[in-house]
Structure formats: C-alpha cells, structure tokens
Amino acid sequence: MVKSLDLAFGVSTTLENVEGYPAHINDSDKVDHMKACVEQVLGSDAAHISRPRMGAEDFSYFCQKWPGAMVGLGCHDPARGFQFALHSPHFDMDERVLDVGVQLMGHALIQYIDKAAAA
C-alpha cells in the first residue's frame, strides 16, 4: 500500500511500524468475580459485559503480570447526556460514581479475601 502511494503521487515513502500497548485480556475468573460483586452491590441489571474493543489501555501492562479485569463504572450523568468522551479535556465526571466505586471495590476485595481464606 505504501509503495502504491509512491507510484500514484510521485513521492517517496517510508513505513515505520511503532509498537503500541499490548492487548488487554481480562482474566475470566476475575470477570466472573467482579460480575457477581456488581450484582450483589448494585443489582443484576447493573452488570454488563462489553464486547472486545480495539482501544489501547495501559492497564494491559498490569494484567501481563497479574490476573485482572477492567471494570467501568459509568461516570457521566445520564440526565445531562454524554457530552464529552472520557479522555476529553472537557469531560465532566459525575462524582456520585466515586461512592459507588468505593462500595463496589471494597465489597469485591472482602469477597476475594473471604474466598481465598475458605480455599
């Protein structure tokens, strides 16, 4: 494809492939654990497993060393609509989600410790 640019436009091109973030792969046991915790804390309607995406995420480096699962809390106010994307400098987070996140992660940690102690 790059060489065809040379021919079509009379230019000289060079292709440089720069490696990005590694693929982020959730650990299925951690996904199951977090899904159960979400259902226990927020109700069964709150747990959504999203389809794979092609976005980059530095959390993938963490999950190369330790099993993990990415959890999204949903941090925009539905009444205001989705005005700006998460990484936009104009994004305005609904801070009520912080309480939800603390409750969920605290519960998940306690459940994880209890499960490990019982094993």
- Residue 82: HSE in the Cβ half-sphere, 13 Å Cα cutoff: 5
In a domain, 51, yes or no: yes
Measured CA to CA, the distance from residue 36 to residue 71 in angstroms comes to 12
Q: Is residue 59 part of a domain?
A: yes
pLDDT tens column, 31-42: 999 999 999 999
In a domain, 7, yes or no: no
Would 54 be classed as within a structural domain? yes
108 is in which domain, residue-wise?
A: 25-118
Residue 75 token pair:
């941090």
Q: Indicate the number of domains in the chain.
A: 1
Tokens representing 35?
A: 């899904």
Report the CATH number that the domain containing residue 100 is assigned in CATH: 1.10.150
| Residue 17 domain flag | no
Q: Residue 35: helix, strand or coil by DSSP?
A: helix
8 Å CB contact between 70 and 57:
yes
* Residue 4 counted as domain residue: no
Span 77-117, pLDDT tens digits: 778 777 787 788 988 888 889 999 999 999 999 999 999 99
Number of H helices, E strands in the chain: 4, 0
Assess if residue 10 is contained within a domain: no
Domain-embedded: residue 11 = no
pTM exceeding the 0.85 threshold for the entire prediction: no
